[in-house]
Amino acid sequence: MTYSEAIEKVLLDNGYFSPLKKIYKEIVKYRLLTGKTPFNTIQAIVQRNPKFIKIGLGTYALTEYLDKLPKTPTPKTSSQKEDNKHTAIQGMLIEIGNAEGYDTYSWDKRAIFENKTLSNLMTLEMCPSFTYETIIRRIERIDVLWFNERHFPKYTFEVEHTPQFKNSLLKFTELCDFSTLFYIVAYPENEDKYRYELSRPVFSEIKDRCVFKSYDQVEQMYLKSIEKVKVSTEFFLK
């Protein structure tokens, strides 16, 4: 089986599209990785072969099956618009994490971002069991998690469209003993409320590892990353 045929099999398995990160992981089901730089070969094929089309940051679909991709729901109410915005930020963060080489996970598997179901966009089907089950159950509902190659959480993201940050920060405290950075993504006008909540003594162990990012900042990072292909995690360290 050729690389192109194996890539097609992976995309068919994954709902007609897949991030490169998942293609790299799943292609071995169909053929051996041969050549000195097999991942470079795979990337070149999806970029140049008209059988495949780019539909996001490092995410590719089968051109023939674009009409079979899930449809992003059209919002009819302000609440639905907020839900779509929330999902869009989650999807962007998942794609950025994939492009950076992390394994990604979100509990919101059925949500759709730009005709891509989050469950097919993330590289992990389940939250890794990196610690006690009681902690896993509490943190697996964090909006987006990026895991390193040993499947420990490196970055966590909570997307909040209301100024209620307490519950998100409490989820983060469950990971205070790990080398993890915590991000709140919200509307900029809610930053003062975030800082007020973070100043509470209960969050003293994590406050120096918490970062606030606005929706606009994440959106700009996503769009710039698509243009440049390579993402810089320095953005997330500021």
| Predicted pLDDT of residue 225 | 86
**Distance between CA atoms of 93 and 101, rounded to whole angstroms?**
12
Dihedral of CA 14/17/23/25: which sign? negative
Report residue 127: phi and psi, to 5°. -70, 125
Residue 236 has pLDDT above 80, yes or no: no
- Contact, 186 vs 215, CB < 8 A? yes
* pTM metric for this prediction: 0.93
Q: Within 13 Å and on the Cβ side, how many CA atoms surround 205?
A: 13
Q: Report domain extents, the chain.
A: 3-68, 78-237
Per-residue pLDDT of 85-132, as tens digits, reads 999 999 999 999 999 999 999 999 999 999 999 999 999 999 999 999
Neighbours of 150 (CB within 10 A): 8
Kindly report each contact of residues 77-84 with a partner whose C-beta sits within 8 Å and lies 24 or more positions away, as own/partner. 82/161
| Predicted pLDDT of residue 232 | 53
Residue 8 has pLDDT above 80, yes or no: yes
Query: In the structure, what pLDDT confidence band is assigned to residue 226 with cuts at 50, 70 and 90?
Result: confident
Residue 141 has pLDDT above 70, yes or no: yes
Dihedral of CA 87/131/180/161: which sign? positive
Select the CATH number that applies to the domain covering 3-68 from these four: 1.10.10, 3.40.50, 1.10.150, 2.60.40.
1.10.10
Residue 229 has pLDDT above 70, yes or no: no
| Predicted pLDDT of residue 43 | 96
Per-residue pLDDT of 31-66, as tens digits, reads 999 999 999 999 999 999 999 999 999 999 999 999
Per-residue pLDDT of 181-199, as tens digits, reads 999 999 999 999 999 999 9
